[in-house]
Structure 1
Amino acid sequence: MTDNDTDSSGRQIDAVENAFNIIESIQELEQCGVTELADQLDIPKSTAHIHLQTLRNLGYVVKEDGKYQLGLRFLELGGRVRHNRSIFQAARSEVDELARSTGEVGTIGYEENGQRVLVYRTEPFEGVSDNAPTGEFTRMHWTAVGKALLSQRTDDEIRDIVDRFGLPRATENTITELDELLNEIDEIRTQGYSIENEERVQGVKSIAIPIRDDANQAGNSAISISGPKHRFDDERIESELLSALRNAANVIELQYKHY
C-alpha cells in the first residue's frame, strides 16, 4: 500500500479522487475541450488530456466535434444499480399508477450519504414538476421526499447531515435554520407525511410519504407526487392526494416483503 492508498487512518488514493473530480467537472461543463477542463480544475493541459484519453479508451467519455462529454456507459451502471434496489422493483408500478390516477408527477426517492437521490420518476401528459433528472442527488431539506427521509432519522443524525451539507437556500421559501427544520421534521413524524411548498422551485408543490418496513430492508426511501401549486390546495391534499399516497405506500410496503 502506498502513502496515498486509503487505509484505516482515512488516507485516499489521489489518482482515483482526481479521476472522479474530472468526471464531475465534465458533467458540470456538459461538454468541454482539454483547455476548458484544465482551466476548470487548475491542472496542466497535458494532465487533463491524459485523463480524458484514458476515460475515453475505457468507454466512459466520448469525443464529438472536438469536445469531450460523459458517455452512456454511466447510464448502464446507474441502471444496473437501480435495478438491483428492491425498493425500485417493489414501488415502480405503484408509483406509475399513482401518477396516472392523480395526473401528477410520481417519484421514488432514496437517501444515500445524507442526500436525496431521485431513483425513479414518472410523468403523466399534464404533469408538471422541476424536471429533475433520474439519479439526481440534492439537499434533503429542499424537497418533500428529502424531508420525509429526514423524518426517519434521529435529530442528532439530522444535525450531522446539516453539518456536512448546510442548509443553503434554493427559493425564498427554503428552510435555512436548523431549529425550524427540526420543528418541521417533528411535525412530519407526527402526521406521517411531508409537504414541499415552493421550497426548491417556485410554483411547484409536492407531498411525500416514507416507505416503512419492519426490518428496514428497504433502506430510507419515500414516494411523492408533485405538481403546480394551484392544483395542490389544502382541500385536494386532504380529500384525494394524501389518501392516494397512503394507499400506494401501503401496497409498496406489502409488495416489498416479496422481493
Structure 2
Amino acid sequence: MSERHIQSVVRAADILELFLSSPELSIKEVSERMGLSKSTVHGIIKTLEFKGFLAQDQEDQKYKLGMKLFELGNSVSKNLDIASIARPIIQELVDKVKETVHLVILDRGEAIYVEKVEGSHSLSIYSQIGKRAPIHCTGVGKAILAFRPENEIDQLLSEATLTTFTDKTMTDKEQIIEHLRQVKKQGYAIDDEEIEIGLRCIAAPIFNHKGESVASISCAAPTTRFNDERLTDVVAHVKASAEVISRQMGYKPNLHL
C-alpha cells in the first residue's frame, strides 16, 4: 500500500462501500467479505458508528448506513452545479417524452448517476442516484467518452473492466473505439440492449465552458416503446435538452468546433 494511504482509513472506506450492495450487514458478514478478523472489523465499525457513519439495528444487531452519510451526500449534491442546472431541463424532457431520464457524470473511469426523474410509464431498471455504471456499454457512458481526447479514450478503456452483460455488449477495445467515432459523428449514443435485454437508452453529451464532455443525459425505455419510428423523435429531444444544459454550463459551440 502506498505510504500516502492510511490502511485503517482505506479499510473503513471499503467497509462503507459494502453497504452499497447490502443494506444491512453483521460484523461477521463484514469480516467474511473483507477477509479481516472480527476484532479488527469490530473496532472499525464501532468507530464509524460513533461518528454517525453507521447505525446499529437494536433488534437484529446488524448495521446500516447512518445519517451522517445522508448529510454529506446532501452537501455533495448541493455542490454539483450541473445537477441543479440540469434538473428543470430534465423535468421538461420527461414531460415531453414520458420516459425516465438520467443525468450522469464521469468519475474514476465509470459513469455515476447524479440525477434521475421517472417518467409516467413504469420502468424497472437498476439505476439509482449514486450508483455507478460501466462506460463501455451504457448510452450515458459512451456519450461522454466519445467526445474525450483519443488518448484519454484509449487509457480509460484500457483501465476499465470490459464486462459482458448481454450478447450485444461490445468488449473489444478497438471495436468500441470505432463505435465511439460514430457516436461522436452523430452527436448521440444508443445503448441497444447492451447492458440489459429489453432496455434501450438514448444519450447525449453535456459540455462545460471549456468544451469538455463532463456529463450526459439519457432517456431510457423498453425496446417495445422505443421502436425505430419513435427513436428519431426521442433523439431530437434528448440532444436538444443536452444542448440547453451545456449552454447554461457556459458552453459556446462556435468556440469549440
Give the TM-score, by structure 1 length: 0.90
| Unaligned 5+ runs, structure 2 | 252-257
Matches of 1:49 and 1:248 in 2, distance apart?
49
- Corresponding residue of 1:135: 130
The one-letter amino acid of 1:248's match is S
Output the amino acid matched with 2:216. A
Assess if the C-alpha contact under 8 Å between 1:152 and 1:220 holds in 2.
no
Q: Using the alignment, how far apart are the partners of 1:106 and 1:52 within structure 2?
A: 37
Within 5 Å, give how 1:1-259 maps onto structure 2: 5-6=3-4, 12-64=5-57, 65=59, 66-216=61-211, 220-238=214-232, 240-257=233-250
SS at match of 1:223: strand
Given that residues 105 and 129 in structure 1 are in contact (C-alpha distance below 8 angstroms), is that contact kept between their aligned partners in structure 2? no
Deviates more, 1:195-204 or 1:163-172: 163-172
Identity of aligned residues (%): 28
The alpha carbon displacement at 1:85 in A equals 1.6
Hey, what's the Cα distance between the residues in 2 that align with 1:166 and 1:159?
Answer: 13
Q: Deviations over 1:154-200 (max 9, x none)?
A: 23212212222221111121111111101110000100000001111
Q: Is the CA contact 2:208–2:214 (under 8 Å) kept in the aligned structure 1?
A: no
- How far the C-alpha of 1:214 sits from its partner, in A, is 4.0
8 Å contact kept, 1:129–1:228 = no
SS of match in other structure, 1:179: helix
Is the contact between residue 27 and residue 38 of structure 2 (CA under 8 Å) also seen in structure 1? yes
* Paired residue secondary structure (2:63): strand
The alpha carbon displacement at 1:17 in A equals: 0.9
Q: How many Å separate the matches in 2 of 1:57 and 1:102?
A: 46
Report how far residue 246 of structure 1 moved: 2.2
Tell me the CA shift for residue 54 of structure 1: 0.5
Moved more, 193-202 or 162-171: 162-171
The one-letter amino acid paired with 2:226 is: F
Is the alpha carbon distance of 1:221 and 1:129 closer, same or farther for their aligned partners in structure 2, counting shifts above 3 Å?
A: farther
Could you say if the C-alpha distance between residues 163 and 37 of structure 1 is closer, same or farther in structure 2, counting changes exceeding 3 Å?
A: same
Residues in 1 aligned to 2:7 and 2:146: alpha-carbon distance in whole angstroms: 36
Deviation at 1:97, TM superposition (A): 1.1
Q: Unpaired segments of 5 or more residues in structure 1?
A: 7-11
Separation in 2, partners of 1:191, 1:26: 39
Q: CA RMSD in A?
A: 1.9
Residue 25 (structure 1) shift:
2.4
Matched letter for residue 55 of structure 2 = V
- Once the two structures are superposed, residues 104-127 of structure 1 have per-residue CA deviations (whole angstroms, 9 ceiling, x without a partner) of 111111001111011100002314
Once residues 47 and 26 of structure 1 are traced to their aligned partners in structure 2, the CA distance between those partners, rounded to angstroms, is 18
Q: CA deviation at 1:133?
A: 1.2
